[in-house]
Each structure stands twice: as C-alpha cells, then as structure tokens.
Structure 1
C-alpha cells in the first residue's frame, strides 16, 4: 500500500509562486503595468506576508466594493508567524486594506445573527430570518456612526486588494477562470500524473493583450448570468451588449461566447420573447441554434421557415444529433400540414434482442449478465468483460496518444491538463485532421496493435481523457486486439473522433469473446430499463458496419 503523501504546511504558497512565475516567464510582454507591479510587490514580501495573502486569496471572502472582506479574529493559520504583523506589512504594500470605510451593510455579513443581537445598541426582534434582523437593525433611529461603533469598532476587519490582477494570471495559466490551485495539489498528492507535452510560447493560447482583455470581459459577463436570467428580457439584451466582439482565430473565445448567447437566447424563448431569441440564435453557428429557430418558426405558425431550416440542416448537418433532429422534426411538421412529398419516415433501427430470466441478486445487473453469458457458451471457456465506454475509447486513446498531446496552437496552457483544451469541441478533429487520417490509414498494415501495446506499457497511469487504466486490464486488451478486426476498429475510431463529446458515451456494457473465436458487443437492460437515443444510434451504426451486437434484456425470476 502506498504511504500517504504529506504536503508542506505552505504548499499553497509554493504552488502560487510557480503559477505566477510560469505566467511571467511566458506572458510578460502581454501583462499590464499594474499586473507586473502586483507580481513584483508580492515577490518582495517576507514569507509570512506572502503566506497570508495567498491564504486570503484562496478563501471566499464577503464581497464588497472595497474587495473581499475578512475578519482578522477569525483567521487561524499555524504556519504563519505573527499574523497581525503580516497584516500590517500587506497593508503597507497595498495588498490589504485594514478597516476600509464602507457602509455598515457591507460589513454585516461578517457577523453571525447571535453577534448582531448581542452587539446591537437597542433590542432587536429575535426573528429566525437573518434578512429581517438586518432590516430591523438598519431601519432604526440609531445614529449610523454609533451603530457602526457598536458592532464593528473592536473587530479588526480586512479587505483584500489586487485580487483582480491574479485573475489575469489564472486565466493565462489555466486558459479559464474555472480552475484554481487545487490542480497542483492533485499532482502533489499523486492523484494525477500528467503527460509531458511542450509548452512553447508560440503555441500558448494567448498571443495578444486584446485576447486576454476579451476573455476577462467574457468572464465578467458570465458572473452576471444568473442575475440576468432572473431579471428578464431587458437585462438579457443589456448583457448581450456587454459581450466582447471576439478575436479572429480565437476558437475558444468564439465557443464561449456562443455558449453564453445560446443560454441567453433560450431564456428569452422561455419568456416568450421570440423575436429577441431568434435574433440571438441567428448570431450562433453551433447547435442547437438552428434547431431552436426551427421550433420557434413552427410555434409561430411559419411552417415554411421551419421546414426550410430543417432542409438546411440536412444539407449540411453540424453533427449527428442535429441531423436526427431535422429528420424527425421536419417529418412530424410536414405530416401535420399534409406536405409529406419530400419527407420520409425516419428510420427506426431495432437491434437484435434476447431476454434472459435470472435470479434476483445484489450485484449490478451487467455483472450478472456477464456471468450468465460466460456460462451459457456451448463450448465453455467464453470470456465476458464489463467495459461500458472504457474499451473502445481506451484503445483509441492509446492509439492516438501522441496526436492527442501534440503541440497544437492553443491546446495546452499549463503542465496540468489531462486533455487539450479543444478536446470536447468540434474543433478537435479538424485541427489534427491530417495526423488522424494518416494514423487511421495505418490500421491496414497489421502493425497498429504494436503501437497500442507500446503506449500501454510506456504510459501506464498517466492521465488521458479516453483511457480508464483500471478498466483496461492486459487480459481484456489482448483479446480485444486479437479478436476485433481492423475493419471494425476503423469505423469505430472514425465515429468517435468525429464527435468525441457526444460519441464517447452510449457504447455497450459488455464485450463477449466466445471460446470459438470472434466477439460480440452486448448492451444490458434490466427490468424497466430502455435504450437511450445515443445507444440506439451506436447500434444502428454497428448494423451498417456489420459489427456484431445485441441487447440482452434481464428479467427477475419470481421469488
């Protein structure tokens, strides 16, 4: 058993310093004067002041107009010597403000209900609701200065400064503002091992200050999203006007802006502001923009426009899900108005199905089915594995490992990525099209399995978004590479690569290797369970490519 890893008491400071130094070493020319001043000021502080600053930066303070708020009497960090002294030095450096002059209502969230009741200069109702208590406190005739003196005078209060500058460093390091220093901790604890990919300056995602500014502006808009959705159409229009215009060639920013516009448009649609929703959907190229436009048109009685959009999708579908929508919605709409001349009934594939009655047990139904399949073989010696999405995804991940981690511009921001930043997007395949086509062509030379084995043994345990190591034992991999022919691997890999975000799930639960040779993919459905649409699409695909498959329905024996 591996001994637990013990982190240094100030591991967070080490990680913070690595992050900011990484960004300065690669992006110094793109950082503002204020951001560089923040970096240099921090570097000149004593170690205890740096520890305190990073501790506060990592905590969720009370938001205020002066920066995140904290109470010094609530801070306890054993590794920081002389906490009040560190506070003074941070204040002298401009990274902390002590007792900033704020309206009382901005300080009140730092105090508990019990404290407010105890410190109030006049009796307050002992209401269970904090909001009512605060309202009663602020609405009385007590002088505001006297009220502030009574509640906060003897409590040392702090507001963190320059935190917005760290957002720029975080954005440059992670490529987003959703991640934090936890990723370092996961590495240090040994929970993840990362591939060693190049991080050359010319391959990093941000190549201009304007890019950085627009991404920061996008995240400021994103912070307002929840309140905007609740506020109504006018607030949505206002937020749309604040969105950055986008940068030519910055596919990541384009995706983020489209995702936000789609969310806003969908809310306008729910609020029955169809004109505003249509206007926003028209600015989006990705699904489900055309689908929503078609639905809006039909809802408003404009059948011709709805059907025209379905035809447009069918002529050039963005992905398989959009094509399936256009086939089904177009047919149903045309049927309602009696103009079916050009619309065919959508195909409904019915996979081969077998039903088996098994004794009820506490084990997963997939494991029970696997055991039954092994025992039911005529010759004995059949092997059945519970793989779900791990087998085909895993073999693909091993086969394209070097392409997945190749130095594509903008794909990698820092050393802690298990996948390129565009992995789950429609840009993933086109960005690497030539390399993928060449690699798939190598399936014909009969040597491709050797590449898989070399990667399997050389990269074991390193994080890869397609490879679940513990679900891919050697015994399974050996049978899969020997039994599943290249003529089947090629279409499987091609479909996965075409739309990894949607196609990496929905694969069958089991793979059966009969003693007599060959293989079969088996989807298990327990009592009351039914095939999902992505599973049906996979099985229709198997049928087109003669890949052996079936559905095994399990019912329970009567008690």
Structure 2
C-alpha cells in the first residue's frame, strides 16, 4: 500500500471528506444555496476540484494567477482548464474589481511602485497604503491597476459558505486540514466515537449563526479594541443570549475579553458593566480588582464576600482569599475567617549541579526498595483518563464534531463533568468494587496510542501503571479523580514532579521539587492544600547545588 502523501492529491481527498461529512451529517441545517454549492463541488472534474480545494485552503479569498502554480494540477494536463471550469461553474471570478486595500495585499512594494511611483524609503507598506487611502480610488481589475504585470486577479466566491462548512465539520474555526494529514500518516490514532443526531454540536441553523456572529465580533475586537463594541452588532451581542449552552459559553468568553479591552483602554465604568454581566471564570476577580482601583471599596467587598462564600472555581476562591483581607483592612471590617495554610512536609537536598533539578533529586532520593519516577502531570492524569475513558469520550452534543478529535471539544468548559456525571460516577464505582486495577490495565492495553487529553503515552508504560496501582490506595485514587473533576481546566497541571513508591509497604508519596530561586505556584499551592485536606502524602524538596571544591 502506498504512503498517503505519495498521492499528490491527498488534500483533495481531505476536502471531499469534509464536504461529504457535512452534507451527510448536517443536510437539514443547509440552505438551498449551500446544498447547490456542495452538489457543484462533488460534480467537478478532478483538476477543477483540486484547484478549488487549494484555493479554499489558502488564506483569504483574493489571489493572483501567477501564484497558482501547482505541479500536480499541471500534471493532469488541465491546469489552464481548471480555472475555466471553476469560472464557468460560478465558483471563482477571473476579473474581480479590487479596492486599493486588496491591491496592496496582493502586490509587492516594488510592484506598487510601478503604479504609484516610489514611496519614501521610511514608509512601511501599511503606512503607504494609509497615506494613499485618504484619496478616493475607483475599483479596478488587477490588469487595469497594473497592465505591465501581465497577471490577473482571482476571487474565490462563496467564502462565507466555506467558512460555515469548516465550522460545521471541526466545531471551531481554529483547525485546518493538517489534522487530516496527521491522521493519514498514521501519526495519530483517534478514538472511534458514535455519531448520531443527538450528539451533533449544532442542532439548528441559529446555533451556527450565533457561533459565526461571536467569532466575527471577536475578530472585530482584536482589530479595533473597545470601539468594536459601539457597532450595532457589538451592542446587540452584549444583550444577546445563545440558546445553545456551549455557544453561550463562547459569548461569555467574548464578554470577558471585551471587558478586558475596555479596562486596558481606561474605560473603567463600561468595563465594570461588562464584568458584572459576565459569568466566565475570572470575571469577578477582575471586577473586584478594578472596583478597588477606582475606589469603590464597599462594592468591591460585597462582591468579593459573595464570591468567597460561593466561588465559581478553586482559582477564584484562592484569589478572593487574598483580596478580602486587604479590603477588610481598608474598610475597617472584621477579618473574614480563612483556612490556615496547610502544614507541608519540607526537606532539603544538596546535589551536584545538573541540567534537570528534578532528575537530580530523583537520583538522590530513590533506591531499589523505594524507586522514584519523574512523572510531573502524566501519571495521575493517565490513571484518571484510563479509569474514566468511557465518560471522557461519551458522545454528547457539542463534544465531537468529526472523527479526528484528540478529546471532547467541551473538555475545558465548566459543565464538562456535570454533563457526564452519571457516567463518571459509574467509572468511579469501579474503585469501590475492586475492579479498577484490572479495568485500568485493560484500558491501557486496548487503547494504546489512541489520542487522549489525559494519557501522554510517551510518559507511561504498563510496569509504571501496575506499580502505581499497587502502591496508591483506591480511596486516594478516588480523591485524585475528584480533584481533576473539580476543575479540569486548571487541575490537570500543578501535580508534583516526582512520585516515590514503597512497594513492600504498598504506599507512595508525591514530591514537588524546587530548585534554587524557585517557589510554589498558585496551582501547586491549591493542590498541596487538597492533599492535606484528604491525607494524601506530599512533600516539597528544596534543592541547592553543591559548590565545587577547589
């Protein structure tokens, strides 16, 4: 069997996979124009379909004829015919009328000089455009703008439809066709998830419209800052609420970015109004800090007190635990009772200077009877990922859009665990009935190499998994799973660098290593506090270098 990339038209297969998948899975959400376009694409001769795929995969929708030199299309002896076929099908425009801005995006500075004369050497291309844009320039074809170039412009039509199709397939607008290439090459293997009508991420056309609306307003915010919020579309989106929960969370994240942008521009009052509307994690912390900065201390204290009593996540709880005492001092209020710092086991180690302080500590601490492994975040995440594989890959709506997901698309959303609560509880139940060890090992063998957001296959092997299951009690493993489920976005990181096993005693301890000048990070402090609250063994090792003698 030939290597997938030995086929020079591999990208055409990818493009057809996308369009056929959308046509089959979302036909009821397509309008007449979109169905007609898909029908046209599927009916194209190979050379024209290949060129269309190339254009769709490129950035933007305007191109120069001279930039379309694709050897594999020319080899079909139909390179010139491909353009004519696409034009006859109404899929491209071979003589688009170009505004000045498009002309500057297509031509090099030296080519522009043939039209407008040389620019000042100190002027960058964008500055040159801005200077010329003060005048009124009519629309012209590329040939009319620059007849000496012997070139023509090409416009890909229906760019908005291709964007919509890509969104419906990937469930986002970040991904591109490289995901297909990696799958074709066998670099990545993906879990086979059941796709049915209930598991679709988009249930109606409004869902897609809402996603695109948020995406375009996010782009406007990046280009124009807080001014983008003064547009009719920006103001409408602030007051809007999406019916689809996962798309509404995207709107909430946009609100947070909008509030941040206004804050950075010094528009405090408007920023505060958006923070107050936003339910995204982190919004209340920023709101309280800004209220404190502008002197509205009483309001800041009220919000901080409410957040301390009912935090949205562990990070917010940690931040409010720091902010509240400061506000109470300023306002002369009684001090809020806060939990005492957990008593952490510390020990100190001097080792020879090495490139890795963690490995140096592991070598110094470990022994044949009590081996030490440098696992960082890999081991506990893997045990959780293997035990709860069924829950993680449950085919819920908005979780999987296509067959090439490394993990569920909603993994980092706040309702990830709650949506799967019943399946997670069933998986954790294996810790109670004693079958968890066998299930984890069997899952490790059966799913070997399949992409997972929790299992880093290069960091773990079966002997390590087996040793961990021998030394980590079931109740401890349950606590670790609950720690992850509490806040997957933040708690996947921050685990101790090392783990030491005592096989004869069937026990273990986590060891966080800190080199000279290092300190504990916030997520590590939260994790250590959790350990002490549940009697999970953890210690901090402070390493210093032995000074060379001489």
User: Counterparts of 1:314 and 1:346 in 2: how far apart (Å)?
Assistant: 12
Q: Secondary structure at the match of 1:199?
A: coil
Distance 1:493 1:337, change over 3 A: same
Q: What CA distance in whole angstroms lies between the structure 2 residues aligned with 1:406 and 1:146? A: 52
Change in Cα spacing, 1:126 to 1:296, as seen in structure 2 (3 Å) is: closer
Structure 2 segments unaligned to the other structure (5+ residues):
none
Partner of 1:261: 255
Distance 2:138 2:477 in 1: 78
Contact 2:301–2:327 (CA<8 Å) still a contact in 1? yes
Q: CA deviation at 1:431?
A: 0.4
Q: Secondary structure at the match of 1:80?
A: helix
* Match 1:151 to one of 99, 122, 146: 146
C-alpha distance in 1 between matches for 2:434 and 2:263: 54
What's the CA shift for 1:439? 2.3
For the Cα contact (< 8 Å) 1:104–1:148, is it kept in 2?
Answer: no
**Is the CA contact (8 Å cut-off) linking 1:233 and 1:268 kept in structure 2?**
no
What residue number does 1:556 align with? 545
Q: 1:382 aligns with which of 370, 375, 380?
A: 370
Which of 266, 271, 274 is the matching residue for 1:277? 271
Is the CA contact 2:95–2:142 (under 8 Å) kept in the aligned structure 1? no
Q: Return the match for 2:323 from 326, 329, 341.
A: 329
1:534 Cα shift?
A: 0.7
CA displacement 1:335-378 (0-9 Å, x = unmatched):
2222125x12553334211111111123x111111111124xxx
Structure 1 residue 111, shift from structure 2 partner = 1.9
- Give the aligned partner of residue 394 of structure 2: 406
The answer to whether the 8 A contact 1:221-1:243 is kept is no
User: How far 1:387 moved relative to its partner?
Assistant: 0.3
The equivalent position to 1:210 in structure 2, one of 193, 206, 221, is: 206
Q: Which residue of 2 aligns with 1:320?
A: 314
Listed as ranges, the gaps of 5+ residues in structure 1 are 62-67
Correspondences of 1:147-546 after superposition (within 5 Å): 149=144, 151-152=146-147, 154-229=150-225, 232=227, 235=230, 239-242=234-237, 245-248=240-243, 250-341=244-335, 343-345=336-338, 347-362=340-355, 364-375=356-367, 380-514=368-502, 516-517=504-505, 518-546=507-535
Displacement of 1:247: 3.2
After superposition, the CA RMSD in angstroms is 2.6
In 1, Cα distance between equivalents of 2:295 and 2:532 = 39
The answer on whether the counterparts of 1:523 and 1:551 sit within 8 Å (CA) in structure 2 is yes
Give the conservation status (yes or no) of the 8 Å contact 1:126–1:133. no
Please state how far the C-alpha of 1:275 moved relative to its aligned partner. Answer: 2.2
Greater shift in the superposed pair: 237-246 or 106-115: 237-246
Distance 1:444 1:161, change over 3 A: same
Residue pair 2:494, 2:523 contacting (<8 A) in 1 also: yes
The Cα shift of 1:232 comes to 4.1
SS at match of 1:360: coil
Distance 1:167 1:141 in 2: 31
The 1:10/1:302 distance shift into structure 2, 3 A limit, reads same
- Give the number of aligned pairs: 542
Distance apart, 1:291 and its partner CA: 2.1
Could you tell me how far 1:303 is from its partner in structure 2? 2.7
| Inter-CA distance 131–409: structure 2 relative to 1 (3 Å threshold) | closer
C-alpha displacement of 1:84: 2.2
Q: For the residues of structure 2 that align with 1:131 and 1:25, how far apart are their CA atoms?
A: 44
State how far apart, in whole Å, the 2-side matches of 1:320 and 1:458 are.
34
- Alpha-carbon distance between aligned partners in 2 of 1:490 and 1:368, rounded to the nearest angstrom: 31
Q: 1:129 aligns with which of 124, 133, 148?
A: 124
What TM-score do you get using the length of structure 2 for normalisation?
Answer: 0.92
Kept in 1: contact 2:190–2:404 (CA 8 A): yes
- Separation in 1, partners of 2:450, 2:136: 65
Instruction: Assess if the C-alpha contact under 8 Å between 1:349 and 1:536 holds in 2.
Output: no
